[in-house]
Every structure is written in structure tokens, then in C-alpha cells.
Amino acid sequence: MTTIRLITKIRAPIQIVFDLSRNIEVHQLSTFQSKEKAIAGRTSGLIKWNETVTWRGKHFGVYLKHKSKITEMELPSYFVDEMEQGHFKSFRHEHSFVAQNGTTVMIDFLQYETPYGIFGKLFDKILLKKHLTDFLLKRNEFVKNLAEAQK
């Protein structure tokens, strides 16, 4: 299992950051490089507990689908999306938000497993972990800029 943990400090109220992080349109705008589009389930607005969204995006030159479900949610401090269908063996992304002195600390904790045994592990080590880390960093920077402009 691979783990990615990122911390992003944002000078904006926790509720704004929380809502931007679960906003379908914001996700689509922040992931323009992979042409992410919500194609089923919740396709606009704020995703809520027990809802699903199916994303279609271009990664490594191929269009892929990924269906996630929000399995846990505590407003405005925490939510979890877990893969229901997709190209991973398992995929769980915890989003945590902590208010600290006028700043919101956004914490991403992503754990996933690749299929295909040793070949999947090699692909993860060579390309996938860096790709997912860069993907999240770009998305977080977009959310940060948007949240700080709104406050």
C-alpha cells in the first residue's frame, strides 16, 4: 500500500476551504490538465455524505474512469472518498481541515494499492506516486488561491 500525505496552509475560514474541496466544479477547474469531468452520480455542486461521483480524466495518455463514494463526513472538518470502481486495487482519500489562528490547515491522506502484482508496484514506484502527488499539489494550490481570494 502506498501513502501520500500533504499539508496545505490556507489563509481562509475552514468552511470556505471545506466547501471548495468538495465542490465538483472546482475539482474540474483545478484538474484541467487531465480534463477531469464528472460524468455520473453527483455532477455539480457540493458532494455530500453517501453520494457518489464518477470522474473521467486523461492520465498517462489514456482516458480513465474512477467512481468514488463519500463514506464519511463531519462538517466542516473531515470527509473521506473511497473508490467503488476504477483502476486501483483500493483507494481511500481522507480530507481533514483544522482551523488555526485564522488559517485552515488542509491535510490530504491518500492510501492506495495498485493491481498487477510486481508490475503494478514497479509502475507505482516509477511513475504513479509522483503523478498522484503532483495532481494533488496542483489541485490544492488551486483551492488555496480560490479560498484566499474569497475571504
Break the chain into its structural domains and give their ranges.
Answer: 2-150
Angle, CA 131 vertex, CA 68 and CA 96 arms, to 5°: 50
Q: pTM of the full predicted structure?
A: 0.94
Tens digit of each residue's pLDDT (9 = 90 or more) over 7-48: 999 999 999 999 999 999 999 999 998 999 999 999 999 999
Give the pLDDT mean for 43-63.
97
102 torsion bin: left (phi>0), alpha (psi -120 to 50), beta (else): left
What is the C-alpha end-to-end distance of the chain, expressed in Å? Answer: 38
Q: 2-150 adopts what CATH topology?
A: Alpha-D-Glucose-1,6-Bisphosphate; Chain A, domain 4 (3.30.530)
The Cβ of residue 147 has, within 10 Å, a number of other Cβ atoms equal to 24
pLDDT of residue 88 exceeding 80, the answer is: yes
**pLDDT for res 2:** 98
Give the pLDDT mean for 73-88.
97
CA distance 122 to 143: 31
**pLDDT for res 41:** 97
**pLDDT for res 43:** 98
CA distance 132 to 86: 15
Q: Quick one: which of 68, 3, 59 has its CA closest to 39?
A: 68
CA distance 42 to 36: 14
pLDDT of residue 151 exceeding 70, the answer is: no
